[in-house]
Amino acid sequence: MLGVSLLLAQGILYFLTMATLFRARGRLGIGVFVCALGVMHFLETYLAAVFFIPMPFGLISPGSTIMFSGKLMMLLLFYIRMDAETVRQPIYGLLIGNLMIVVLAYLLRYMPAAVLEGRQPDLTFLDQMGVLMVWGTVLLFIDSIALILLYEKLGKSLTSSVFVRAFIGAACVLTFDQLGFYAALHWIADVPISALLGGWIAKMIAAVAYSAMLAVYLNYFERDETRVEPERLADVFDRLTYRQRYEDLLRKAGIDQLTGAKGRGEFETAGQIMLDQARAGRRELSLAMIDIDHFKLVNDGHGHVVGDEVLRNVAQTLLKSIRGEDSLFRYGGEEFALICEGLSHSGALALAERLRLAVLTTPQPAMLKDVTISIGVATFPRDAETLVDLVRHADANLYRAKQLGRNRVIGRADEAAG
């Protein structure tokens, strides 16, 4: 009973201390809370590896049951009251910081250290702790994101109760964590199997206790400020994993997010610059307008998810098949524009034919039949002097390719391929 009482006291002390620091974030700054959250990671790992308390249901470690489970619930509190952009900072910080500790510790073995009497450094133990810290941090990284996503998912499909959402999410995530961390403990430290069941039961009790304390805290101390509306899981995941930063970068770079080709706005700007440079250098410039055949039937018959996959696959095939100096743009919908600097009309027709064959022979896993493209080609300066007229001319040839049965390349009236 003494061990149970001490564990309960530790859990309450942990939560009260961290919740107090979190509540005082307006006066002390959020950094105090985050530092307190991260500074105990070594002790958590150490206790989880070597310090166990015998219970009727097995061995348990306060490092895993109290500290790790508590840290996970603190990150959930952080998310509930703040947002995904803020909570991802300590999540990534813990991962990077602990990886750095392991690297620095590994380099110690190459340093000429003085041996003090009675104080021989145990680098083997340090190596074991390093592996466990990295593995534990990776699990924490996965656990944190999974817990937040489960919390939001349960708010959409089950209940608005903070306690129920937090407990079910924590129970699922801590079960996964117990299996993952015990596997490492057993491999490195030969921890007995009784620690697996004992640790799991203890973590389920911790999930109940921490979820209850979390619900009480939010209800009595930040009730008016708690966000209750669940967010879209895709939005939460994007922000937790910095994906939205990547998408913002793509937008700023003029890249179409779905296909990886450059966007329509970039075509208007870059196309005019390339045309001006071709005019100044008295060089030819060819434009190919590319359209996926019967794409509306793909969307109507297979759905937009399959349609997006086809678009992505075609674009990637085109990008892999063009020259390094060529520029591919998503012109709109299922239509692409390819600008080929310094390429004659006959050269552009040959390139377009290679693109047609590449798309035709590329497997489309979501489709039962081949996907084909039609291409219209026009070349500056013979076919047109301006970018608008060049597009109009290439579009007219594309329209002829479709009239003639699709899956072909059309250039000037006297030059065709496919």
Q: In the structure encoding, which two tokens stand for residue 102, read together? A: 């392991």
Query: What pLDDT does residue 248 have?
Result: 54
Residue bearing the bigger pLDDT, 99 or 231: 99
What is the Cα–Cα distance from 69 to 104, expressed in whole angstroms?
27
Q: Which residue has the tokens 């911790």?
A: 206
What is the Cα–Cα distance from 216 to 71, expressed in whole angstroms?
17
Containing H/E element for 360?
helix 345-360
Per-residue pLDDT for 309 more than 80?
A: yes
The pLDDT tens digits for 135-186 are: 888 888 889 888 988 888 888 777 678 899 999 999 999 999 999 988 988 8
Dihedral angle of Cα 250, 253, 254, 255, to the nearest 10 degrees: -40
Per-residue pLDDT for 105 more than 90?
A: no
Angle at 51 between CA 45 and CA 53, to 5 degrees: 130
Q: What is the pLDDT confidence band of residue 338, given thresholds at 50, 70 and 90?
A: very high
What is the Cα–Cα distance from 6 to 9, expressed in whole angstroms?
5
Give the other-Cβ count within 10 Å of 57's Cβ: 14
Per-residue pLDDT for 303 more than 80?
A: yes
Identity of residue 170 = A
Query: What pLDDT does residue 222 have?
Result: 81
Per-residue pLDDT for 418 more than 50?
A: no
Query: What pLDDT does residue 292 have?
Result: 95
What is the Cα–Cα distance from 323 to 338, expressed in whole angstroms?
11
Residues in the chain: 418
Pairing of strands 416-417, 409-410: antiparallel
Q: In the structure encoding, which two tokens stand for residue 270, read together? A: 């870059």
Query: What pLDDT does residue 252 have?
Result: 52
Most confidently modeled range among 111-115, 221-225, 272-276, 409-413: 272-276
What's the Cα-to-Cα distance from 97 to each of 90, 93, 103, 133, 138, rounded to whole Å? 10, 6, 10, 10, 12
What is the Cα–Cα distance from 355 to 318, expressed in whole angstroms?
6
Per-residue pLDDT for 282 more than 80?
A: yes
Query: What pLDDT does residue 390 have?
Result: 95
Query: What pLDDT does residue 242 have?
Result: 52
- Global pTM reads 0.58
What is the Cα–Cα distance from 284 to 343, expressed in whole angstroms?
6
Residue pair 292/311 in contact (Cβ under 8 Å)? The answer is: yes
Residue pair 156/232 in contact (Cβ under 8 Å)? The answer is: no
Sign of the Cα torsion 79, 143, 46, 2 reads: positive
The pLDDT tens digits for 238-269 are: 555 555 554 555 555 577 888 889 888 888 88
Q: In the structure encoding, which two tokens stand for residue 108, read together? A: 């110690």
Residue pair 64/51 in contact (Cβ under 8 Å)? The answer is: no
**DSSP E strand boundaries for 161-226:** none
The pLDDT tens digits for 203-237 are: 999 999 999 999 999 988 886 544 445 555 555 55
Q: Which residues pair with 329 in a beta bridge?
A: 262, 337
Q: Which CATH number fits domain 254-417: 3.40.50.10420, 3.30.70.270, 3.90.1150.10, 3.20.20.140?
A: 3.30.70.270
**DSSP code at position 412:** S
Closest CA to 270 of 334, 348, 331: 331
Segment 114-138 shows an average pLDDT of: 74
What's the whole-number average pLDDT of the chain?
Answer: 84
Each domain of the chain, given as residue ranges in start order, spans 2-246, 254-417
Most confidently modeled range among 85-89, 194-198, 207-211, 268-272: 207-211
